[in-house]
Structure 1
Amino acid sequence: MSQLDKVDAQIVDSLQADGRLSNAKLSERLEMSEATCWRRHKRLEELGVIEGYQATLNRRQLGGNVLAFVQITCTQHSEAATAEFERIIQASSRVLSCHNTTGEADFLLQVIARDLDDYSRFVEKVLRQLPGVSSIRSNISLREMKATSHLPVGELLGLSGS
């Protein structure tokens, strides 16, 4: 996005690190007026660069002890089957992310569950009921070494030093 500059990247980086940062603190941190900071912040929201704000939760503290990466291969690729697949996946709160991918599998899902029994029930009641599914391959995370949604804004924008 050529319409974003180094200051925009600094605003986004600061808000990624602390989404509760007040405009006053943000403007102080970036050494700009509150009005200018507020206008830039609102512009980033209007452009869709900032989609929303949320708390980062510890899944294990909330009982999400199983994290599975699930590869799904489908035999049906019709518009209707794909739409139904997407509707079911969108409606499932257990599916944290779903990607249509290249390679052997058609979809890669990230699924959370309380334990292996809970995950097994999810596979039986949801994944095996998806239209056109021919294969479900699960990889259970044994140890999470890195998990973030923090984007390297400066690198993505081609800006050095941000």
Structure 2
Amino acid sequence: MSTNISIHALDAIDRTILRLLQADSSLSTPQLAEQVALSVTPCWRRLKRLEEQGFITGYQAQLNRRKLGLDILAFVQLTFGVVTDKSIQRFEETILQRPEVLSCHKVTGQADYLLQVVAPSLDAYSDFVETVLRGTPGISLIHSSLALREIKASSQLPVA
């Protein structure tokens, strides 16, 4: 899989394919081909090339978290007081295994990490904080912000 190819190497049809698949990843190759005005085989080839070049990394359905009973959405800033390679590695390995953590980013600024976490209730979120975060050596500060209302939630990237 090549990662050196930039968006600038893609033509208008490639970019349209990316936009369409972001909007609806269930589009079949014939449906996609029709929308980009190509026959099925050239469209399929472009799709495979976009996958091989790493522009498309997977396909998934977008689920409604509230319908799944995940009413709590928290943004958590974590600061490590004592930083060792071992504590950071252990923390990152733990976070990778936690399904309630939607995203985790090492960031600049006052915090070291920013997490996006979902939970069915405040009690469940509290349990996560107490057992997972407070149980992690080196974390000195946990700052949680709970979402009161979701204005926009999207994983679609702007494809020019």
TM range (shorter): over 0.9
Does residue 55 of structure 2 align to residue 54 of structure 1? no
Could you list the runs of 5+ residues in structure 2 that have no partner in the other structure? Answer: 1-5
**Cα deviation digits, residues 63-94 of structure 1 (max 9, x gap):** 00000000000022221111101001101111
Q: Give the 5 Å matches for 1:117-132.
A: 117-132=123-138
- State the Cα distance separating 1:4 from its structure 2 match: 1.6
Aligned to 1:107: 113
Distance 1:40 1:92 in 2: 35
Paired AA for residue 30 in structure 2: A
Aligned to 1:63: 69
Does residue 89 of structure 2 align to residue 83 of structure 1? yes
Distance 2:55 2:85 in 1: 30
Task: Find the residue that maps to 1:129 and give its secondary structure.
Answer: coil
Could you list the runs of 5+ residues in structure 1 that have no partner in the other structure? Answer: 155-162
Distance 2:130 2:57 in 1: 34
Aligned residues: 154
Paired AA for residue 63 in structure 2: L
Aligned to 1:18: 24
**Cα deviation digits, residues 31-67 of structure 1 (max 9, x gap):** 0111110000000000111011111000000000000
Percentage of identical aligned residues: 53
- State the Cα distance separating 1:131 from its structure 2 match: 2.1
Q: Give the 5 Å matches for 1:133-148.
A: 133-148=139-154
Paired AA for residue 70 in structure 1: V
Aligned to 2:12: 6
Does residue 54 of structure 2 align to residue 28 of structure 1? no
Task: Find the residue that maps to 1:126 and give its secondary structure.
Answer: helix
Distance 2:22 2:134 in 1: 37
Distance 1:43 1:75 in 2: 45
Does residue 107 of structure 2 align to residue 96 of structure 1? no
TM-score by length of 2: 0.94
